[in-house]
Structures are given as structure tokens and as C-alpha cells.
Amino acid sequence: MLCGALLLIAHRLREDARAAALIIGDPEILLGRDFVRDSKVTVQLLSKECLEAKSVVGFRLVFPVEASPSNGDCYSEAGQNSLRYTITVKFPHNQFLWSAVLGTESRPKGLSTRLCEGRDISKLRSVLFSIEEGLHVEVDGFGKPYVGGDTELSSWLNLDSPICGSIALSEILSSRRFRFLIPNEDGMRKFLKACAGQPPNWQGYPFGKIHTFDMKRYRRIIPKNEGFGYEAHWRFDDVEDFVTCVSQPHIQDVFYFHEDIVGLSGVNVKAALLPVDSNDSEVWAVLNVTERIDNVYAATWRRLMKSAYPFAVVVKPNHGDQQSIWDAKFSISSNVAGMNQPWAIVLHMKIRSPRRAGQKMTRFKTWEQVLNSELHD
């Protein structure tokens, strides 16, 4: 538990999000509720140092969302309940310039009357980020429908109306120059450490078959959650990072293993049942593995048999349509009392769902009866 907590903390420390105010339009409008009185938007300068993908430098706009009147919950990409509508702007990696202006002339006019209580105007600095010619920023989250009681925010996000009557959000996001107000410039070099982040460094994987990369296949099997209040389970800066990730042997191994498990769940397998200690709710099950399993799912099947993890099995009698659910796990035949056939594939099963009246299954009293049954002819 301690190790997992330390890993989680280390992961979170790679993101540095600092409060700022975004200066837009002419005359100048300030967005950033941490600095500006009555501002509805939270602005954060964002820096992420990623070990497995490109580092990220940019900024984040956060719009408040009221609790939904429905019974459902809204979840962010981190899997936590969220009441935020977020737009993230990413500057092109290592292809932007920034400069801090120390003089008071860089501050917006009338700034002192617009600041939140407790903010010292003498310590504020203006920072300008400029994107190189021919490049553009990447934007996540823009265009999702906004549902909230604030009609002004709704018009900005759904209708792309000018913010505070000055400039539309789409025009802001398509710009190549972004000006911010920050508390001081001393921490900016540390903040931008992610700009010098190392390229993706994969450690490889000691086992797993290397499969040919198949974009169509991964687009089909990677789950998606789209729409208001939802973000993807896995996020990638661009298609190159996506290919870098899913073409790794261990990532492909997980996807192929999962797909095989889904396929195996639909295969019917005959089995002979032998009660454990005359207890009908706990049985040994000797399986008659089909050629389809041997041919199509051979590698995954062998890995399953070596696993000690329990799984669910649906048992259906030879006669009738009543089913029951059992918890099962593989057992090594040599460890089962009375079993002297090393080739036998045995499950140890305990019933989970109550057996219905009239439900009958063919059971055997000895291992000899099981191994000599028509199941293994």
C-alpha cells in the first residue's frame, strides 16, 4: 500500500499547475478568478513532465458546472467525480518562446481596481508566450456542450459569443500569442522544466508476443466516453504518441489477452462434476477442451491454466435450460486427491447463485467414473 501511495504521489508531482490571469481583447479583459474579482473562469499555467510521452506546457481554462439533477455522476479523466468543464491548451513541444516584462507599463489599465482582495499589484508581472511561425496549439475539450444555469458561460461555450463582449473563445484558442498575469517571474524557469523533458523511454517487456500494429483494431477495442462531462480513459498528445504506446509489446499483450478472454467467454465446454466431500455446492469439474480452444486460444488458455485467480462459470445441465453461476479456479490435477491423470484439466468450483427447484446435473461419485464417461471418449 505504501509503495502504491508513493508511486501515486510521484505521478502527481509531475504536473505543475499555477494560478494565472489571461489577458485578452482590446480593451483588455482579464480572466482568472484567483486574481480578478468576479471572474467566472479559473486560469492555470500548466506544465506536465511525462516519462512515457511528450512533455506538455500550456494553460487550462476551468469553467464551473452545477451538480446534475440526474442520478448520474460526472467524471474527469482522472476517474474522480468532477464539476468542472475544462479546456486545455498545449503549446507545440519546444517550439514557443516566452518572456516576462518587469515594468509596470505591461499591466492592464485599471488593474488595481479589478484585483481580488489581498493581491499585491507591485508583485504582478506580465508573461507573453509566442508560438513559432507556421505552428499552432493543440486544444482538448473545446466544443463539448456546456450545460449549466449560467447563461453567460453557456453563450461563451455553446454559441461562441464574445467573452465579456470582447473576443470569442474560438478566436482566443486559434491565436499564436498568449499573455498572462502571474505573481512573479522567479519560478518561471522551474515551471518550464518540462520543455527540456526527455523523449519517451520505454523499458520494454520480458514476455509477450510482438503483434503487428493494427490501427483499426485498436480503434475498435479501446473504450471511449464522449459527450458532456466525460473525457477519454486514455489521452495522447498526438497520433505519434498513440502509436508509440499501443505498439509496445506489453500494451498489445494486454489488448490481445483481453480480446481472447472475451472470445473464450462465449465457448461452451462440456464438464463432468464430482462433489467435494459429498457437498453439492462444491465440486471438482473435469473439462473436455474443444479443438477450437486448442487452436484459436491456445496461448491464452495456457496462461489461464497457470493462473490462481478465480473467475465465474455458468453451468447449464444436459437437460433443461436452468443455469447456475459458480466461482471457479484451475487446480493442478496432481494436487487433487484421487486424481492420477496428469493430462486432466480440473476446476475447483463453488456455487454462487442458489440452485433452483428441479435443477438437476449429472454427477459422478468417483474419479474413475468421471474419466471413463462419454465426456472423454
**Alpha-carbon span 314 to 64, nearest angstrom:** 47
Q: Is the pTM of this model over 0.85?
A: no
CA 236 to chain centre: 11
Backbone φ/ψ region at 101: left (φ over 0), alpha (ψ -120 to 50), beta: beta
DSSP for 199-251, please give it. PP-----SS---PPP-HHHHHHHS----STT---SS--SSHHHHHHHHTSHHH
Q: One digit per residue, pLDDT tens: the chain, 377 residues? A: 334 333 333 444 467 788 888 988 777 788 888 888 888 899 998 887 665 556 778 899 999 877 655 555 555 545 555 567 889 999 887 788 877 765 445 566 666 667 777 677 777 778 888 888 888 888 888 888 887 778 888 899 888 888 888 889 999 998 889 988 887 656 666 666 545 444 444 444 444 455 566 667 666 665 544 444 444 455 666 666 677 777 777 777 777 787 888 888 788 888 877 788 776 788 888 887 777 787 788 788 878 877 777 888 888 776 666 778 888 888 776 666 666 666 677 888 888 766 554 555 555 666 666 666 655 44
**Alpha-carbon span 109 to 238, nearest angstrom:** 39
**Alpha-carbon span 6 to 26, nearest angstrom:** 47
Q: What is the pLDDT of residue 104?
A: 47
DSSP class of residue 197?
P
**Alpha-carbon span 274 to 344, nearest angstrom:** 13
Count of C-beta atoms within a 10 Å radius of residue 127? 20
**Alpha-carbon span 47 to 89, nearest angstrom:** 11
Q: What is the pLDDT of residue 35?
A: 83
Q: What is the pLDDT of residue 366?
A: 63
Q: What is the pLDDT of residue 60?
A: 92
What is the amino acid identity at position 70? S
Residue 354 contacts by C-beta under 8 Å, 6 or more apart in sequence?
none
Q: What is the pLDDT of residue 192?
A: 61
Indicate the pairing of strand 270-276 with strand 346-351.
unpaired
Parse the chain into domains and list their residue ranges: 10-201, 270-376
Q: What is the pLDDT of residue 8?
A: 37
